Structure 1
Amino acid sequence: MKRIVAVVMTASMLAACSSYSQPMVDTKGVDQSRYSQDNYECEQYANQVSPVGDAAVGAVGGAAAGAALGAITGALVGGVSAGEGAAFGAASGGALGLGGGAVTGVQNQRDVYRRCMAGRGYNVLN
Protein backbone atom coordinates (compact mmCIF):
# COMPACT_ATOMS: atom_id res chain seq x y z
CA MET A 1 0.00 0.00 0.00
CA LYS A 2 2.87 2.37 0.78
CA ARG A 3 4.26 1.77 -2.71
CA ILE A 4 0.93 2.68 -4.29
CA VAL A 5 0.80 5.93 -2.34
CA ALA A 6 4.40 6.74 -3.32
CA VAL A 7 3.72 6.11 -7.02
CA VAL A 8 0.53 8.20 -6.97
CA MET A 9 2.27 11.06 -5.17
CA THR A 10 5.20 11.01 -7.61
CA ALA A 11 2.95 11.06 -10.66
CA SER A 12 0.84 13.84 -9.16
CA MET A 13 3.94 15.95 -8.57
CA LEU A 14 5.08 15.37 -12.15
CA ALA A 15 1.68 16.41 -13.46
CA ALA A 16 1.72 19.56 -11.33
CA CYS A 17 5.19 20.50 -12.58
CA SER A 18 4.14 20.29 -16.19
CA SER A 19 2.42 23.63 -16.51
CA TYR A 20 2.21 25.54 -19.77
CA SER A 21 4.86 28.20 -20.27
CA GLN A 22 4.75 30.39 -23.31
CA PRO A 23 7.65 29.94 -25.77
CA MET A 24 9.92 32.92 -26.45
CA VAL A 25 9.38 34.97 -29.57
CA ASP A 26 11.94 37.32 -31.13
CA THR A 27 10.19 40.70 -31.16
CA LYS A 28 12.99 42.80 -32.67
CA GLY A 29 11.53 45.09 -35.33
CA VAL A 30 7.98 43.90 -34.64
CA ASP A 31 4.97 46.22 -34.28
CA GLN A 32 4.11 45.77 -30.58
CA SER A 33 0.36 46.30 -30.97
CA ARG A 34 0.19 43.68 -33.73
CA TYR A 35 2.37 41.33 -31.67
CA SER A 36 0.11 41.75 -28.62
CA GLN A 37 -2.96 40.87 -30.67
CA ASP A 38 -1.30 37.89 -32.36
CA ASN A 39 0.11 36.68 -29.03
CA TYR A 40 -3.33 36.87 -27.42
CA GLU A 41 -5.01 34.99 -30.26
CA CYS A 42 -2.35 32.26 -30.35
CA GLU A 43 -2.60 31.84 -26.56
CA GLN A 44 -6.35 31.37 -26.97
CA TYR A 45 -5.77 28.62 -29.52
CA ALA A 46 -3.19 26.95 -27.26
CA ASN A 47 -5.58 27.08 -24.30
CA GLN A 48 -8.11 25.08 -26.32
CA VAL A 49 -5.78 22.09 -25.97
CA SER A 50 -6.65 20.28 -22.76
CA PRO A 51 -3.77 18.81 -20.74
CA VAL A 52 -6.41 17.52 -18.33
CA GLY A 53 -7.99 15.50 -21.14
CA ASP A 54 -4.63 14.07 -22.17
CA ALA A 55 -3.88 13.27 -18.53
CA ALA A 56 -7.21 11.45 -18.15
CA VAL A 57 -6.61 9.39 -21.28
CA GLY A 58 -3.12 8.54 -20.04
CA ALA A 59 -4.45 7.54 -16.63
CA VAL A 60 -7.11 5.23 -18.04
CA GLY A 61 -4.71 3.59 -20.48
CA GLY A 62 -2.02 3.25 -17.84
CA ALA A 63 -4.45 1.77 -15.33
CA ALA A 64 -5.71 -0.81 -17.80
CA ALA A 65 -2.23 -1.87 -18.88
CA GLY A 66 -0.98 -1.85 -15.28
CA ALA A 67 -3.91 -3.96 -14.07
CA ALA A 68 -3.33 -6.57 -16.75
CA LEU A 69 0.41 -6.73 -16.13
CA GLY A 70 -0.10 -6.73 -12.35
CA ALA A 71 -2.62 -9.58 -12.52
CA ILE A 72 -0.30 -11.68 -14.65
CA THR A 73 2.67 -10.94 -12.41
CA GLY A 74 0.62 -11.61 -9.28
CA ALA A 75 -0.54 -14.94 -10.64
CA LEU A 76 2.99 -16.03 -11.59
CA VAL A 77 4.85 -14.78 -8.52
CA GLY A 78 4.25 -16.43 -5.18
CA GLY A 79 3.01 -14.43 -2.21
CA VAL A 80 0.81 -12.04 -4.18
CA SER A 81 -2.63 -12.84 -5.53
CA ALA A 82 -3.66 -11.91 -9.05
CA GLY A 83 -6.19 -9.46 -7.59
CA GLU A 84 -3.59 -7.71 -5.43
CA GLY A 85 -1.21 -7.55 -8.37
CA ALA A 86 -3.95 -6.10 -10.56
CA ALA A 87 -4.83 -3.48 -7.95
CA PHE A 88 -1.21 -2.41 -7.53
CA GLY A 89 -0.65 -2.46 -11.30
CA ALA A 90 -3.77 -0.38 -11.94
CA ALA A 91 -2.79 2.22 -9.35
CA SER A 92 0.80 2.40 -10.54
CA GLY A 93 -0.06 2.44 -14.24
CA GLY A 94 -2.84 4.97 -13.74
CA ALA A 95 -0.61 7.32 -11.79
CA LEU A 96 2.23 7.09 -14.29
CA GLY A 97 -0.19 7.47 -17.19
CA LEU A 98 -1.66 10.56 -15.52
CA GLY A 99 1.75 12.22 -15.27
CA GLY A 100 2.75 11.26 -18.79
CA GLY A 101 -0.55 12.45 -20.24
CA ALA A 102 -0.26 15.81 -18.48
CA VAL A 103 3.24 16.32 -19.85
CA THR A 104 2.02 15.43 -23.36
CA GLY A 105 -0.91 17.84 -23.04
CA VAL A 106 1.34 20.73 -22.04
CA GLN A 107 3.70 19.94 -24.93
CA ASN A 108 0.72 19.98 -27.30
CA GLN A 109 -0.23 23.44 -26.02
CA ARG A 110 3.29 24.72 -26.66
CA ASP A 111 3.27 23.22 -30.16
CA VAL A 112 -0.04 24.90 -31.04
CA TYR A 113 1.27 28.27 -29.84
CA ARG A 114 4.56 27.84 -31.76
CA ARG A 115 2.83 26.91 -35.00
CA CYS A 116 0.35 29.75 -34.64
CA MET A 117 3.02 32.40 -34.10
CA ALA A 118 5.32 30.98 -36.79
CA GLY A 119 2.38 30.98 -39.18
CA ARG A 120 1.96 34.69 -38.53
CA GLY A 121 5.58 35.34 -39.42
CA TYR A 122 7.24 35.42 -35.98
CA ASN A 123 10.55 33.78 -35.13
CA VAL A 124 9.79 31.45 -32.23
CA LEU A 125 13.03 30.85 -30.34
CA ASN A 126 12.20 27.77 -28.26
Structure 2
Amino acid sequence: MRRVVSLALILVLAGCAQSYQPVVDTKGVDNAKYQQDLSECRQYAEQVSPAGEAATTGLLGAAGGAALGAIVGAFSGGAGTGAAIGAATGGAVGAGAGGVSGVSEQKRIINNCLRGRGYNVLNS
Protein backbone atom coordinates (compact mmCIF):
# COMPACT_ATOMS: atom_id res chain seq x y z
CA MET A 1 0.00 0.00 0.00
CA ARG A 2 2.80 2.43 0.87
CA ARG A 3 4.40 1.74 -2.51
CA VAL A 4 1.19 2.67 -4.31
CA VAL A 5 0.88 5.91 -2.34
CA SER A 6 4.56 6.75 -2.94
CA LEU A 7 4.24 6.05 -6.66
CA ALA A 8 1.12 8.19 -6.89
CA LEU A 9 2.88 11.06 -5.10
CA ILE A 10 5.86 10.83 -7.45
CA LEU A 11 3.64 10.83 -10.55
CA VAL A 12 1.64 13.83 -9.34
CA LEU A 13 4.74 15.82 -8.46
CA ALA A 14 6.57 14.99 -11.68
CA GLY A 15 4.14 16.96 -13.85
CA CYS A 16 3.88 20.06 -11.68
CA ALA A 17 6.24 22.28 -13.67
CA GLN A 18 4.43 21.43 -16.90
CA SER A 19 1.02 22.32 -15.49
CA TYR A 20 2.01 25.45 -13.57
CA GLN A 21 0.58 28.59 -15.13
CA PRO A 22 2.17 31.82 -13.82
CA VAL A 23 0.14 35.04 -13.82
CA VAL A 24 1.81 37.34 -16.33
CA ASP A 25 0.77 40.80 -17.53
CA THR A 26 0.48 40.04 -21.24
CA LYS A 27 -0.43 43.54 -22.44
CA GLY A 28 1.72 44.20 -25.50
CA VAL A 29 3.23 40.69 -25.38
CA ASP A 30 3.51 38.47 -28.47
CA ASN A 31 1.58 35.36 -27.39
CA ALA A 32 3.60 32.94 -29.56
CA LYS A 33 6.88 34.27 -28.16
CA TYR A 34 5.50 34.08 -24.60
CA GLN A 35 4.38 30.45 -25.05
CA GLN A 36 7.85 29.56 -26.39
CA ASP A 37 9.57 31.28 -23.46
CA LEU A 38 7.19 29.65 -20.95
CA SER A 39 7.94 26.23 -22.45
CA GLU A 40 11.69 26.80 -22.18
CA CYS A 41 11.37 28.05 -18.58
CA ARG A 42 9.35 24.95 -17.68
CA GLN A 43 12.14 22.80 -19.11
CA TYR A 44 14.62 24.54 -16.81
CA ALA A 45 12.31 23.93 -13.85
CA GLU A 46 12.11 20.21 -14.69
CA GLN A 47 15.79 19.96 -13.78
CA VAL A 48 14.67 20.27 -10.14
CA SER A 49 13.01 17.00 -9.23
CA PRO A 50 10.29 17.38 -6.61
CA ALA A 51 9.91 13.59 -6.57
CA GLY A 52 13.62 13.15 -5.79
CA GLU A 53 13.44 15.76 -3.06
CA ALA A 54 10.36 14.07 -1.66
CA ALA A 55 12.19 10.74 -1.57
CA THR A 56 15.19 12.22 0.24
CA THR A 57 13.04 14.05 2.77
CA GLY A 58 10.93 10.91 3.19
CA LEU A 59 13.99 8.80 4.01
CA LEU A 60 15.13 11.32 6.60
CA GLY A 61 11.65 11.38 8.11
CA ALA A 62 11.53 7.58 8.15
CA ALA A 63 14.89 7.35 9.94
CA GLY A 64 13.83 9.88 12.58
CA GLY A 65 10.45 8.22 12.97
CA ALA A 66 12.02 4.78 13.33
CA ALA A 67 14.38 6.01 16.04
CA LEU A 68 11.57 7.71 17.96
CA GLY A 69 9.30 4.70 17.47
CA ALA A 70 11.96 2.33 18.77
CA ILE A 71 12.47 4.46 21.88
CA VAL A 72 8.75 4.69 22.60
CA GLY A 73 8.24 1.02 21.70
CA ALA A 74 11.03 -0.09 24.04
CA PHE A 75 9.05 1.21 26.99
CA SER A 76 5.88 -0.53 25.85
CA GLY A 77 7.60 -3.82 24.98
CA GLY A 78 7.53 -3.63 21.16
CA ALA A 79 10.58 -1.77 19.89
CA GLY A 80 10.38 -3.34 16.42
CA THR A 81 6.71 -2.50 15.95
CA GLY A 82 7.27 1.00 17.30
CA ALA A 83 10.15 1.53 14.88
CA ALA A 84 8.08 0.29 11.93
CA ILE A 85 5.14 2.56 12.74
CA GLY A 86 7.48 5.50 13.35
CA ALA A 87 9.28 4.89 10.05
CA ALA A 88 6.05 4.70 8.08
CA THR A 89 4.64 7.85 9.66
CA GLY A 90 7.89 9.81 9.42
CA GLY A 91 8.43 8.73 5.83
CA ALA A 92 4.95 9.76 4.72
CA VAL A 93 5.14 13.15 6.43
CA GLY A 94 8.68 13.78 5.18
CA ALA A 95 7.85 12.80 1.60
CA GLY A 96 4.88 15.15 1.55
CA ALA A 97 6.95 18.05 2.84
CA GLY A 98 9.78 17.40 0.37
CA GLY A 99 7.41 17.27 -2.57
CA VAL A 100 5.80 20.56 -1.65
CA SER A 101 9.13 22.37 -1.36
CA GLY A 102 10.30 20.88 -4.66
CA VAL A 103 7.17 22.09 -6.43
CA SER A 104 7.64 25.56 -4.92
CA GLU A 105 11.20 25.58 -6.22
CA GLN A 106 9.98 24.71 -9.73
CA LYS A 107 7.46 27.57 -9.63
CA ARG A 108 10.16 29.97 -8.43
CA ILE A 109 12.44 28.92 -11.29
CA ILE A 110 9.70 29.45 -13.88
CA ASN A 111 8.82 32.89 -12.47
CA ASN A 112 12.46 34.00 -12.30
CA CYS A 113 13.14 32.71 -15.81
CA LEU A 114 10.20 34.67 -17.23
CA ARG A 115 11.24 37.81 -15.33
CA GLY A 116 14.73 37.41 -16.74
CA ARG A 117 13.22 37.40 -20.22
CA GLY A 118 11.46 40.68 -19.55
CA TYR A 119 7.95 39.53 -18.55
CA ASN A 120 6.03 41.13 -15.70
CA VAL A 121 5.18 38.10 -13.52
CA LEU A 122 2.43 39.12 -11.10
CA ASN A 123 2.49 36.15 -8.72
CA SER A 124 5.49 35.16 -6.66
TM superposition score normalised by structure 1? 0.80
How many angstroms does 1:122 deviate by? 1.0
Distance in 1, matches of 2:68 and 2:92, equals 15
Distance in 2, matches of 1:44 and 1:38, equals 10
How many angstroms does 1:31 deviate by? 2.0
Percent identical among aligned pairs is: 56
Q: Do structure 1's residue 118 and structure 2's residue 115 form an aligned pair?
A: yes
1:84-124 CA distance string (max 9 Å, x none): 11110001101111111111111111011011011111111
Structure 1 stretches of 4+ moved >6 Å: none
Give the match for residue 103 of structure 2: 106
Distance in 2, matches of 1:22 and 1:104, equals 17
In structure 2, stretches of 5+ residues that fail to align are: none
The one-letter amino acid of 2:58's match is A
Residue aligned with 1:91, SS: helix
Give the match for residue 65 of structure 2: 66
Over the aligned positions, Cα root-mean-square deviation in angstroms equals 2.3
Between 1 and 2, higher relative CO (CA 8 Å, sep ≥ 6) is seen in: 1
Give the match for residue 56 of structure 2: 57
* Count of aligned positions: 117
In structure 1, stretches of 5+ residues that fail to align are: none
